[in-house]
Every structure is written in C-alpha cells, then in structure tokens.
C-alpha cells in the first residue's frame, strides 16, 4: 500500500475511533450529537475508501522470479550474415528494452537461436505454439501458472512466469520469456510482433536465395 493510502486509512480509523469514544462518554444523546456521529462515521468510511481506491490505482509491481539458467548467446552454425545480423540486433533490442529474460527462435524444425538465460533442453513445440500458428497471431501468457500447457516452455527455460509466442507463419515460432508475471505491455507485444515479421521475411529471403544451409541442430 502506498504511503499516502496508509495515511488516509489511518486517518479514517482514527475518526471512527474518536467518534465511538465521543458517543460512549457523552452524558446524554442529543439530536445534535447523533448528527455529528453520522457525519464522523461517513468521514471515516470515506477516508478508508479513498485508501482502498488509491491502492488499486497504484498496484504493487510483480516481483521478478529467480530464474535458473546460463546467461549466453547461442546461434546455430552456418547461418548467412543477414540472418545472423537480424537475430543479433533484434534479440538485443527485445532483451534490453523489455522485461524479457530469454528468447528462442525456431524455424523449419530446428532452433536457430537462444539468447539471455538459456538451458540445454531440446525445444519441442506444443499445443500453445500450434494454436498460435492456427490463429496466425501472437499468444501472450501473462501468468503462466494459470495455463496447464505452460510446461511446453520449460525447454526454453524452466518456470517462466510470463511468455509470448509469435508464429513465423507455419514454419516456426519466436518465444520470449519474461522475468515476472504481467511484465509485457501492449507496446512490447506490438514491437515483438513487428520484429518477428521482419525476421520471417529475412529468413524466407535467405531460404529463397539458397543461403540458409543445413545446420547442426545442437542444442535445440
């Protein structure tokens, strides 16, 4: 609760307490006293209501989760320079400008990149990734604890509190994991989707130019 809300709540409780003491110690109950007690009660309740609304208006920020993983930047061997450059600057932007902790790019059955906190578990797309492809749009899990299928992202990084999945048409996905619940804003989602579309075009152009060669699938 913010300090100002605590002051308002304390003031409201104090007003109610003083009104109760005044009513119990009065030698007789007069109409004027009754009116004063009603007004004091309304004032106390009003101050407490202000404290509650103040707290809701300034909610407590979710705390970052202590995620386990190795801080690293892994790229699969054999990627052409345009793809490497796109992956490098795009992942750097998203990992520094948002609350992302980890990022994975999966294309044509193999992992092209892992960056941020990473693990060595092979990535296996599941139902949530498939649904994002079917819908053709980003899926944002603001609180993964509410989704039974969240375990498919444990191979990206175990126990991620928030995840965004963007399909690369029907050929892959980009997965972005956050440090805390509800850590990604609407602006983050738009930036993420926009960059993923740029990445998809780069990969398609490289593939059409026969620049995207066979690569070593380890560790994806």
Domain CATH code at residue 171: 3.30.450.40
User: In this structure, what DSSP letter does residue 141 have?
Assistant: E
Do 87 and 31 reside in the same domain of the chain? no
- Do the domain assignments include residue 216? no
Residues with Cβ within 8 Å of residue 6, at least 6 apart in sequence: 51
Catalogue the E-assigned strands of the chain: 70-75, 100-107, 110-118, 139-141, 162-167, 172-178
**Which residues, at least 6 apart from 96, have a Cβ–Cβ distance to it below 8 Å?**
none
User: What is the span of the domain harbouring residue 83?
Assistant: 70-208
Same domain, 91 and 49: no
How do residues 111-165 score in pLDDT, each as one tens digit?
999 999 999 899 999 999 999 999 999 999 999 988 888 899 999 999 999 999 9
Domain count, the chain: 2
pTM above 0.85, yes or no: no
Same domain (yes/no): 138, 182:
yes
Does 62 map to a domain? no
Domain presence at residue 65: no
Low-confidence ranges of the chain (pLDDT < 50): 211-213
């Amino acid at each position: 609760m913010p300090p100002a809300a605590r002051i308002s709540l304390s003031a409201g409780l104090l007003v109610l307490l003083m009104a109760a003491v005044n009513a119990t110690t009065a030698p007789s109950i007069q109409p004027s006293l009754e009116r004063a007690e009603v007004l004091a009660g309304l004032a106390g309740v009003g101050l407490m209501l202000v404290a509650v609304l103040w707290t809701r208006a300034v909610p407590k920020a979710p705390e970052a989760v202590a995620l386990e993983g190795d801080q690293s930047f892994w790229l699969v061997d054999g990627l052409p320079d345009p793809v490497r450059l796109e992956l490098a600057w795009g992942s750097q932007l998203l990992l520094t400008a948002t609350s992302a902790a980890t990022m994975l790019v999966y294309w044509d059955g193999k992992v092209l990149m892992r960056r941020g906190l990473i693990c060595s578990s092979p990535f296996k797309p599941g139902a949530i990734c498939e649904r994002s492809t079917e819908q053709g749009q980003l899926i944002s899990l603001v609180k993964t604890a509410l989704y039974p299928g969240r375990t498919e992202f444990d191979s990206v990084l175990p126990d991620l509190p928030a995840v965004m999945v963007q399909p690369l048409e029907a050929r892959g996905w980009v997965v972005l994991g956050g440090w805390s619940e509800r850590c990604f804003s609407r602006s983050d989602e738009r930036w993420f989707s926009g960059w993923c579309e740029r990445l998809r075009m780069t990969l398609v152009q490289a593939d059409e130019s026969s620049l995207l060669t066979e690569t070593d699938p380890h560790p994806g």
